[in-house]
Amino acid sequence: MKKRILIINTGGTLSSVNGENGLMPGMKSRDMLDELRMVSRNLELETEDFCSVDSANIFPEDWARLAELIAKRSRDYQGIAVIHGTDTLAYTASMLSFMLQNISIPVVVTGSQLSIADPVADAMENCRCGIHMAAGGCPGVFVAFNRKVMLGCRASKVRTMSFDAFESINYPYIGEISSLGLHICRENLVEKRGIFRPQTSYSDKVFLLKLYPGTDPSILDYLQEKGCRGVYVEGFGLGGMPFLKNDFIGAVKKAVENGMVILAGSQCRYEGSNLSVYETGRRALESGVLQAYDMTAEAAMAKLMWVLGQTDSLREIREYFSVDIAGEVTIPKE
């Protein structure tokens, strides 16, 4: 019996057509089905349109609805592939990793840098990889792009125009396509850690702040006045923050004491933060920040939003950030 694979279309470049104001999503999933069947003749494909938008117009409420749809459809299919625009794909894949943790089938998010209607596009190759990973029997949330498969919460868009637009950050590939076919590195998969139930609650009262020399510490007061519950601060180098002149660490301490969650990471894409090395990091730890370690910015923001949707308890929030939930972080051994 052929495996049943569902393709959920959200739009993006892969399904784009030329409009009056430039490229815009326009194809429905049924328009792509005949071409997709060319790369998956041993599978039974079905399609469903979730939405048809540029991924810049995908919002947190869409993540929750998409996760609920995937959870519902997971009972009837052996795998699900999600067609998505590349610009916010890593955010969606990261949030789905938390909302759908312990799902029993593969969920693979993919897209392309050129429309499937373009004869030289990467769309078909990415769909081939995504569909066959979805049929591979490895539970979890993944990203398929340029013949590589990555954990959903480790993928990040690193190039704007090249076909190798995505990279797995601080984590090995889950799979690669070569002349030997699709090879899956099962030792890199994340083990199922409990029963599956969609957990789609989140808080959008968050902010991403990238420090620069001279950042005004009062930005944290302003954010708190506006109802922000959590801030992910990208610090310098290993995650350090200034405490002379513009005393940003002093402002962090005040914000934490007033109930704000401050997650601290590095502006550097690779190797992650370690706040225990320099004084600028140790003072930040003493002020009450949580560490992002080697999480991508997309995963850090998604986890912050998701955790704040699960609990208001500062103790529980701290516990959530002390553990790896979906393969998103490497917690150093003490």
Q: What six digits make up the tokens of 126?
A: 């990415």
Active site residue 296: no
The better pLDDT of the pair 227, 36 is held by: 227
- The full DSSP string for 242-303 is --SSS-HHHHHHHHHHTT-EEEEEESSSSS---TTSSHHHHHHHHTTPEE-TT--HHHHHHH
Q: What's the confidence (pLDDT) of residue 21? A: 65
Average of per-residue pLDDT across 4-30: 75
Average of per-residue pLDDT across 280-308: 97
- Average pLDDT of the chain to the nearest whole number: 93
Note whether 243 and 283 are within 8 A (CB).
yes
Q: List b or e across 305-322, with b for residues whose CB sees 16 or more CB atoms inside 10 angstroms.
A: bbbbbeeeeeeebeebbe
Q: What's the confidence (pLDDT) of residue 23? A: 60
Digit-coded pLDDT (tens) for 58-77: 999 999 999 999 999 999 99
Reduced to 3 states (helix: H, G, I; strand: E, B; else coil), residue 92 is: helix
Note whether 142 and 108 are within 8 A (CB).
yes
Examine the pLDDT at 34 and tell me if it is beyond 90: no
Digit-coded pLDDT (tens) for 112-134: 988 777 778 888 889 999 999 99
Q: What's the confidence (pLDDT) of residue 26? A: 60
> Which residues are bridge partners to 79 per DSSP?
5
Q: How confident is the model at residue 25 (pLDDT cuts 50, 70, 90)?
A: low
What structural domains does the chain harbor? 3-188 (3.40.50.1170), 206-320 (3.40.50.40)
Average of per-residue pLDDT across 158-163: 94
Examine the pLDDT at 35 and tell me if it is beyond 80: no
Helix (H) or strand (E) holding 86: none
Q: Which residue, among 270, 264, 304, 298, has the nearest Cα to 284 in the 3D structure?
A: 264
Examine the pLDDT at 251 and tell me if it is beyond 80: yes
Reduced to 3 states (helix: H, G, I; strand: E, B; else coil), residue 127 is: helix
Q: How confident is the model at residue 155 (pLDDT cuts 50, 70, 90)?
A: very high
Between 4-18, 206-220, 238-252, 309-323, the lowest mean confidence (pLDDT) is in 4-18
Q: How confident is the model at residue 140 (pLDDT cuts 50, 70, 90)?
A: very high
Average of per-residue pLDDT across 245-272: 96
Digit-coded pLDDT (tens) for 186-241: 999 999 889 999 999 999 999 999 999 999 999 999 999 999 999 999 999 999 99
Measure the CA–CA gap between 174 and 163, rounded to whole angstroms: 19
Measure the CA–CA gap between 294 and 87, rounded to whole angstroms: 21
Examine the pLDDT at 315 and tell me if it is beyond 90: yes
Q: What's the confidence (pLDDT) of residue 2? A: 87
Alpha-carbon 180 to chain mean position: 29
Between 113-127, 160-174, 316-330, the lowest mean confidence (pLDDT) is in 113-127
pTM, two decimals, is 0.94
The better pLDDT of the pair 33, 95 is held by: 95
Average of per-residue pLDDT across 150-175: 97
To the nearest 10 degrees (0 to 180), the angle between helices 89-99 and 297-310 is 40
Q: How confident is the model at residue 20 (pLDDT cuts 50, 70, 90)?
A: low
Q: How confident is the model at residue 136 (pLDDT cuts 50, 70, 90)?
A: very high
Q: What's the confidence (pLDDT) of residue 207? A: 98
Measure the CA–CA gap between 49 and 234, rounded to whole angstroms: 36
Alpha-carbon 329 to chain mean position: 12
Q: What's the confidence (pLDDT) of residue 221? A: 97
Note whether 183 and 135 are within 8 A (CB).
no
Query: Which of the following is catalytic: 13, 86, 110, 296?
Result: 13
